[in-house]
């Protein structure tokens, strides 16, 4: 057993499962949003804005933002533990990644439910 403190869930199995789950969510969301754009989007701001008025679209989009954040965190953590061996530099890299992802989540909420 290798002890870890900086990965997403402290546990390899749940990180692995979450990576798969978030990938499925992102895959479905991509099909959904691209499908909408191809089938019925006319390119206007009004239609785009009205589309995102729907609670379903907002919730699905927010779930996708959370999935991207979790997926990216697990992936970047893996990359950092592969390639960045000095602990201090790795920790700085992980902190920057975490802050960026946290910012994207908050920003996403602001975009979806803001004025």
Partner 1 sequence: MLVVSVYRYNPEKDSAPYMQEFRVDTKGADLMVLDVLHLVKEQDNTFAYRRSCREGVCGSDGMNMNGKNGLACITALSEVVTEDTLVIRPLPGLPVIRDLVVDMSLFYKQYERIKPYLLNDTPAPAIERLQAPEDRDKLDGLYECILCACCSTSCPSFWWNPDKFVGPSGLLQAYRFLVDSRDTQTRERLSELDDPFSVFRCRGIMNCVNVCPKGLNPTKAIGHIRDMLLRNAT
- Only one of the segments 4-12, 33-41, 42-50, 59-67 lies at the binding site for partner 1 (rule: CB under 8 A); that segment is 4-12
Query: According to the binding rule CB under 8 A, does residue 81 interact with partner 1?
Result: yes
Long-range Cβ contact pairs of 4-8 (< 8 A, separation 24 or more): 6/77, 6/91, 6/94, 7/74, 7/77, 8/70, 8/73, 8/74, 8/77
Nearer of residues 61 and 77 to partner 1, judged by Cβ: 77
Collect all residues with Cβ–Cβ distance below 8 Å to 10 and sequence separation of at least 6: 4
Q: How far is the CB of 52 from partner 1 (least distance, A)?
A: 36
Radius of gyration of the chain (CA): 17
Exposure letters 62-72 (e unless 16+ CB within 10 A, then b): bebbebbbbbe
Query: Residue 29, annotated ligand binder?
Result: no
Q: Does 24 sit near partner 1 (CB under 8 A)?
A: no
Q: 12, 92, 102, 113: which one contacts partner 1 (CB under 8 A)?
A: 12
Task: Point out which span in 21-29, 56-64, 80-88, 100-108 binds partner 1 (CB under 8 A).
Answer: 80-88
Q: For binding to partner 1 (CB under 8 A), which residues are involved?
A: 1-4, 7, 11-13, 15-17, 77-78, 81-83
């Amino acid at each position: 057993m290798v002890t870890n403190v900086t990965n997403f869930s402290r546990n390899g199995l749940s990180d692995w499962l979450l990576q798969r789950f978030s990938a499925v969510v992102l895959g479905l969301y991509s099909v959904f949003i691209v499908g909408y754009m191809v089938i019925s989007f006319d390119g206007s701001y009004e239609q785009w804005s009205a589309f995102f008025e729907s609670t379903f679209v907002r919730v699905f989009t927010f779930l996708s933002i959370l999935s991207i954040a979790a997926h990216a965190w697990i992936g970047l953590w893996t990359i950092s533990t592969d390639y960045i061996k000095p602990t201090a530099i790795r920790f700085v890299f992980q902190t920057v990644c975490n802050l960026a992802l946290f910012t994207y989540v908050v920003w996403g909420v602001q975009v979806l439910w803001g004025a």
